[in-house]
């Protein structure tokens, strides 16, 4: 097997659909979330620990919002990039009621920058963030993981997965529920 | 749904650096589009982030609803197609309907003997032999996993393709379906 044929390669993991636990119909669940987003006045957060699918859900909602006519703008922060570039800060106040800002990794911003971000985006139609913290904005959805969810994702990527070779329960425990890391480990087992 | 097709001359799939890659594209479109664009690209896939680079393009403006057209590219000298444990580098032609998301891809190999270079598997690597600067560089590309650092360091030291793999600046996101972030 080569990296390009490995079912657990990064581009496959990164394009996994978000699976709502216990929900068969993903579209219906997305609809419910969008309804909740309206009730929260289009200001909300997707929360959860590392590797639980926050970014996946954010991007899936971005597609749904775009399909509903919003002009979506995605910002991404991580531990190696904890602030926006000056140009981004400059552009924030220009967003209007048609614009929806989606910020992945909001907890990276220092609190005073977070407050500045909230002030500058008041004119935007919506703000949806992902964060490990649950107090930045009202929670739209808390992402959680389980061995069953990990198993579903594994089978989605590799229907021939051998449970004896890499038991899902053990993998889940080893990575403390971090689904992304668990799937990355399976990449190595394939090679 | 439109039908897009790429056919290289004699169905050739193995090329050497500097060789001419030519063939014919054909299409049957559902409706009027602005253009068809044929892109000569390479991309990486594997355990880490994906890199993509568009090396050359040919644009066919205002195409009729069906038709065909010849294309010709002079292939660059590098990077070469290869597969290791962590990364594959693949060359391809990509035919894209603009605007829209319909596309067709035709992969091929570009290497000194025309065949993808297969890097050997690393057994019992010795971490201590890896210089600190290299560990830091690799850490960035391997999500921090120690075994990845070892495997990639061997790759980077033993193969001249290294710079093409690790210094490429164009990065594609798996979430390209939405607007591009204006900061990353």
Question: Would you say domain A26-77+86-142 falls under CATH 3.40.50.300?
Answer: yes
Kindly tell me if the per-residue pLDDT of A4 is higher than 80: yes
Closest alpha carbon to A153 in A49, A42, A7, A43: A7
Cis peptide before B99 (omega within 30 of 0): yes
| CB-CB under 8 Å, A3 with B182 | no
Contact list, A10 vs chain B (CB under 8 Å) = 45-50, 174
Long-range own/partner contacts, residues A146-154 (CB < 8 A, 24 or more apart): A146/A21, A146/A172, A146/A177, A147/A172, A148/A21, A149/A19, A149/A21, A149/A179, A150/A179, A150/A182, A150/A183, A152/A19, A153/A16, A153/A19, A153/A179, A153/A183, A154/A183, A154/A186
Q: What angle do CA B176, B180, B183 make, to 5 degrees?
A: 135
Instruction: Chain B: give the shortest CA distance to residue A133, in Å.
Output: 21
* Burial environment of residue B76 by CB neighbours within 10 A (0 to 12, 13 to 18, 19 or more): middle
Kindly tell me if the per-residue pLDDT of B151 is higher than 70: no
Q: What is the pLDDT of residue B4?
A: 97
Domains of chain B and any CATH numbers: 3-118 (2.60.40.640)
Greatest CA separation for chain A? 55
B145 part of contact set with chain A, CB < 8 Å: yes
DSSP for residue A135: S
Q: How many angstroms separate the CA atoms of A83 and A179, rounded? A: 26
pTM for this model (two decimals) = 0.74
| CB-CB under 8 Å, A11 with B175 | no
Between A44 and A28, the higher pLDDT residue: A44
Kindly tell me if the per-residue pLDDT of A31 is higher than 70: yes
Of A115-119, B14-18, B79-83, B161-165, the range with the lowest mean pLDDT is B161-165
Kindly tell me if the per-residue pLDDT of B177 is higher than 50: no
| CB-CB under 8 Å, B84 with A10 | no
Q: What is the pLDDT of residue B124?
A: 57
> How far, rounded to the nearest angstrom, does the alpha carbon of residue B170 sit from its chain's CA centroid?
11
Q: Which of B88, B179, B184 sits opposite A73 (nearest CB)?
A: B179
Domain ranges of chain A: 3-18+145-190, 26-77+86-142
The two structure tokens encoding residue A22: 């216990």
Torsion angle in degrees (nearest 10) through CA of A52, A54, A60, A61: 140
Contact list, B48 vs chain A (CB under 8 Å) = 10
Instruction: Chain B: give the shortest CA distance to residue A98, in Å.
Output: 14
Reported confidence tier of residue A179, pLDDT bands at 50, 70, 90? very high
Q: How many angstroms separate the CA atoms of A148 and A70, rounded? A: 34
Contact list, A59 vs chain B (CB under 8 Å) = 175, 177-178
A67 part of contact set with chain B, CB < 8 Å: no
What lies within 8 Å, CB to CB, of B13 at 6+ separation is B107, B108, B109
Chain A segment 83-102 residues within 8 A of B by beta carbon are 84-85, 87-88, 91
């Amino acid at each position: 097997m080569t990296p390009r044929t490995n079912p657990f390669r990064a581009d496959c993991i990164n394009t996994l659909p978000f699976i709502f636990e216990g929900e068969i119909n993903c579209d219906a669940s997305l609809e419910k979330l969008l309804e909740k987003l309206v009730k929260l006045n289009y200001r909300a957060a997707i929360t959860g620990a590392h590797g639980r699918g926050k970014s996946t859900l954010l991007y899936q909602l971005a597609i749904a919002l775009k399909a509903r006519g919003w002009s979506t703008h995605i910002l991404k922060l991580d531990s190696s990039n904890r602030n926006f570039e000056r140009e981004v800060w400059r552009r924030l106040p220009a967003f209007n009621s048609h614009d929806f800002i989606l910020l992945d990794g909001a907890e990276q911003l220092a609190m005073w920058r977070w407050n500045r971000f909230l002030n500058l985006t008041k004119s935007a139609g919506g703000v949806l963030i992902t964060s490990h913290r649950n107090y930045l904005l009202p929670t739209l959805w808390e992402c959680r993981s389980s061995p069953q969810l990990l198993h579903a994702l594994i089978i989605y990527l590799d229907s021939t997965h051998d449970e004896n070779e890499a038991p899902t329960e053990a993998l889940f425990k080893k990575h403390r529920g971090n689904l992304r890391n668990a799937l990355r480990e399976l990449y190595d087992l394939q090679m | 749904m439109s039908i897009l097709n790429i056919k290289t001359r004699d169905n050739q799939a193995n090329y050497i650096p500097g060789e001419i890659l030519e063939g014919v594209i054909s299409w049957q479109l559902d409706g009027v589009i602005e253009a068809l664009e044929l892109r000569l690209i390479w991309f990486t896939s594997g355990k880490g982030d994906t890199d993509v680079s568009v090396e050359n393009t040919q644009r066919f403006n205002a195409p009729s609803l069906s038709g065909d057209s010849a294309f010709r590219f002079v292939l660059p000298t590098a990077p070469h197609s290869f597969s290791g444990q962590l990364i594959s580098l693949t060359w391809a032609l990509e035919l894209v309907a603009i605007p829209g998301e319909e596309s067709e891809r035709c992969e091929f190999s570009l290497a000194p003997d025309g065949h993808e270079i297969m890097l050997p598997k690393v057994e019992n690597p010795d971490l201590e032999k890896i210089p600190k600067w290299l560990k830091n560089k690799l850490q960035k590309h391997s999500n921090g996993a120690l075994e990845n650092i070892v495997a990639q360091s061997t790759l980077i030291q033993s193969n001249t393709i290294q710079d093409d793999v690790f210094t490429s600046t164009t990065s594609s996101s798996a979430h390209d379906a939405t607007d591009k972030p204006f900061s990353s």
